[in-house]
Amino acid sequence: MTPGFFKWSVATSLMTLAMLFTQCGKPFATKGDLIYSVDGSGLAVPLEGADPKTSLEAFEQTVYLVTRQNCTSCHGNSQTPLHANSDSTVAHNSLLSQYKVNFTNPSQSRMVKKIKDEGHNCWSNCAADAQEMQDAIADWGSRLSQTTPPTGGGGNFTKKTAQSRTILAERQAVTAGTVIITAQSASAMLTAPMILRPASGNDPAYIEVPNDGNDATLANNDGTAGVANFTISSTVARANGALWGLVSSPSASDDSFHVRINNAGNFPAWTYPATNGLFKWSRVTGNFNLNAGANTVQVREREDGAQLAMILFTPDQSFVPAGAGTAGTITLRYPLDAILGEAGASLEVKIEDYDAFSYRLSGLRLNTGSKSVYIKNIHVLVNNTYNPQHSNYTLVDQMVPMGGGMALSPSNMIVLKEGGEAVDRLSFSFEFLEFR
């Protein structure tokens, strides 16, 4: 083999691989467009109930004027999204298919943030250019809202719940009544042999009775037990709350305490699942009450070696702590009185942070009143906008009997964040939601 032929072979191979991985040569398949929905003429529909032809006309009179004047050199034909393409339908659909506009919060549109935050191809002053784009998107959205049908009716996704408060406000509504005390605080008064271990590495500070290898458990009235007294304060009396602990168990023989609040009754045993040496949140069995003012949570030795880093009381039975305690799962509840015309029914869903970019929804339930309810094809809306990637619950098609609650789906769903917890609000729409 000659050196020249070898070089030619290597170069050809590298070019082929590049084409495969970039799909320049489209060796596998043409990528399909992901858009909200498409009407019979091929126009993208940006919002539920919005007329696609009106959307195209509004786009041509707003955003399209800006992009055609300033963006054709790149986004006319060669670079996606083709929002400056000479065909206004292609330009219109390209922005919707790639979620580059946000009609609820125009300032959060990718078309705006790309200019404002990244200085992408500003045509005059970046701040002014971003504002021009934001105003154009807002104008487009305003023209759409004038053609979107009002709430009411059935079978066409016009039955919608009210929006939640922002996810941050919903979380604060739960955690505002939650008191968290850590083992390091002055409120934790220790009686030997209970001791405080300092924070080390990834482990927080925690209390324990040193593990002497004795697997025996102590009764709740044993006078030799180590004790930790935590003081937690509440502005008002709270009944039927949940008590949690951030705990670790070095082994299955080191995984329990006794615990009670305000000296009420004996010390019930609190045994928690093995944690393999990690600190995890575990709920204390039973419901607990707080008085207005100071309250004493007493944690008593049952097995030496069990470790407790933090306690948490919450009046919300559905709240599941995570991290430092307040970023856990909360339950959103949506009364359905206005849609069904009768009180008593509600929709519930659990929501938690999945990562920096998304939420996780789970436990979708319908609580009925005095009648059976038919529910079908549920859309999750973030800031009043539906993203077809959030489609798990569109498969729901159920008759829910009166007098109880029913899980509507066993699936969890990852929902993309739009503006973050301080901005995002969730609501739901239904193809059918009616008494039967």
Q: Are residues 7 and 101 in the same domain?
A: no
Q: Let me know if residue 187 belongs to a domain.
A: yes
Domain C-terminal end among 292, 314, 336? 314
Same domain, residue pair 345 and 307 = no
Domain CATH for 237 = 2.60.120.260
261 assigned to some structural domain: yes
Same domain, 236 and 361: no
Note the pLDDT of residue 37. Answer: 53
Residue where a domain stops, chosen among 283, 314, 345: 314
Encode pLDDT of 31-81 as tens digits: 333 334 555 456 666 665 567 788 888 889 999 999 999 998 889 888 888
**Is residue 13 domain-resident?**
yes
The phi, psi pair for 321, rounded to 5°, reads -65, 155
Share above pLDDT 90 across residues of the chain, in percent, rounded to a whole number: 27
Backbone angles phi, psi at 74, to 5 degrees: -110, -50
Q: Does pTM top 0.85 for this prediction? A: no
Residue 397 lies in a domain: yes
Find the domain containing 15 and state its range. Answer: 1-28
Domain identity same for 281 and 399 = no
Q: How is residue 72 written in tokens?
A: 């054709």
- Asked if omega into 81 is within 30° of 0 (cis), the reply is yes
SS3 of 433, please?
strand
CA–CA separation, 200 and 278 (whole Å): 13
Hey, what are 257's tokens? Answer: 């305490």
Tell me whether residue 36 is in a domain: no
* Beta-strand pair 293-301/238-248: unpaired
Note whether 283 and 261 are same-domain residues: yes
Same domain for 136 and 219, yes or no, is no
Residue 180: predicted pLDDT: 52
Are residues 333 and 276 part of one domain?
no
Residue 128 shares a structural domain with residue 223: no
126: in domain: yes
Structural domain count, the chain: 4
Helix (H/G/I), strand (E/B), else coil: 244: strand
Distance (Å) of CA 109 to CA 100, 114, 197, 344:
6, 8, 49, 38
Q: Are residues 239 and 294 in the same domain?
A: yes
- What pLDDT sits at residue 175? 65
pLDDT at 36: 45
pLDDT at 42 (0 to 100)? 64
- Distance CA(307)–CA(309), nearest Å, equals 7
Sign (positive or negative) of CA dihedral 274, 280, 281, 284? positive
> What ranges make up the beta strands (E) of 284-322?
288-290, 293-301, 307-314
Residues 371 and 426 occupy one common structural domain: yes
Could you tell me which residues are beta bridge partners of residue 234?
293
Residue 139: both structure tokens together: 């104008």
Is residue 43 situated within a structural domain?
no
47, part of any domain = no
Residues of the chain falling short of pLDDT 70: 1-50, 145-157, 174-187, 215, 323-328, 404
Whether 268 and 395 map to the same domain: the answer is no
